Structure 1
């Protein structure tokens, strides 16, 4: 494997890690500064191992969140065609040893923490996917509200009414994650199960979505500050919303 090839694999691995989200903050771990190193080790002319080091804002970040990110990083990097082996190392965390071993063995959170875990993390992931959907919904429909759309009209809005851009694209990805309709004729305001929200219930839904969005954005900003304070390195700020 040539140096140029290793470099291209590095880029592919980094891009793959960019699809891994902090479940609570709904932002890529690459943007949050959680990835400290990506390196490709050549095993033979046709095989290489991707080595990735991760860090988190505090020593006591919740182990369930940490496990999700490490396990998702394994899955993402394994999906890179040029990679035949994966080593993901979470560092400077009180449960790093257990998380690294459990995620590498694909044994699941419950087996990794048999005394503490009440089960696997599917319900937790679903909870945060729903929060991410609400936050994206509030961002994506803001232009409609600024343009003067009233409640009755918003209740009839479809995805085709959204302005093209990153906010609309993010909303479509979150809807796809939840198995919600993503076609242009699909209703914009739906509940967690994909059922349309009535005009009577829509104001409360909007207020709740705004509160969730403010919470998600605030937590992301807070975690960036903690990471910078802990490691003394500046983390690029998220795009202004």
Structure 2
């Protein structure tokens, strides 16, 4: 039977940095997990002290939610360390004040819209990874024919699983007959727009992956030894090959 600290770390695997689209556990943002005397305490850290407060709060709040679900009757304490708004964020988390209650007049609106924006970006990047993989595996496949690719036509594996998770998070259908390349409402793009839409999706994916790589490096610089807490994202070889071609061409 896993102990509480193991359960807590497993639960934190489901908490994603909203901008980088990776689990905070893989990024090394979980500094410590301790279950002592009926209290579960988790310390989080970020690559810089000036990371966006709304991103920081969103990550810390999501962490508290998943930890509360596994902690039973134990008190859950989530602490964000070394951030310029740490005291404010930690007080808000302790009081379950929510984002608006924590930041007051500094918060223009709740975080639902921000969360939706990043979920859409993550979905766009996931579509690109899946479809670029198909292009690399089938060099003779015209980009326009990606219009006809359905979820059921994708190969089984991590890339497809990630796409299905991101569609589900947006409330989009995950039925096998659904087209892969769709807009934020699940509507397919016209065939003639596919190359343009794929290039746009690729730019978003490259931006997300580049930011994640940059933030990992910043964290290692800020917290020497934190590299042992980081897990490298498994790369789809076909996508990596495309990224290499783009880098050589730039």
TM-score, with normalisation over the residues of structure 2? 0.88
Partner residue in 2 for 1:39: 34
Q: Is the 8 A contact 1:71 1:104 kept in 2?
A: no
The alpha carbon displacement at 1:18 in A equals: 0.7
Rounded to whole Å, the distance in 1 between the matches of 2:73 and 2:143 is 51
CA contact 2:40–2:71 (8 Å) conserved in 1: no
How far residue 198 of structure 1 moved from its aligned partner, in angstroms, is 1.3
- The answer to whether the aligner puts 1:218 opposite 2:213 as a matched pair is no
Deviation (angstroms), 1:152: 3.8
Q: What is the aligned partner in structure 2 of residue 46 from structure 1?
A: none
Are 1:72 and 2:62 matched, yes or no?
A: yes
State the distance in 2 between where 1:135 and 1:143 align: 12
Residue equivalent to 1:136: 126
1:109 equivalenced with 2:99 (yes/no): yes
Instruction: Write out per-residue CA displacement over residues 185-225 of structure 1, whole angstroms, 9 at most, x where no aligned residue.
Output: 11111100111111122111101110000000000000011
Larger deviation: 80-89 or 195-204? 80-89
Aligned length: 231
1:146-191 per-position Cα deviation (integer Å, ceiling 9, x unaligned): 2133234211111011111101000000000000110111111110
Please say which of residues 103-112 and 68-77 is displaced more in the overlay. 103-112
**Partners of 2:63 and 2:78 within 8 A in 1:** yes
Pairing of 1:156-167 with structure 2 (within 5 A): 156-167=148-159
CA distance, structure 2, for counterparts of residue 65 and residue 220 of structure 1? 14
Structure 2's unaligned 5+ residue stretches are 237-250
TM-score by length of 1: 0.91
Query: Do structure 1's residue 16 and structure 2's residue 19 form an aligned pair?
Result: no
Highest relative contact order (Cα 8 Å, sep 6+), 1 or 2?
2
* Structure 1 runs not aligned, ≥5 long: 44-48
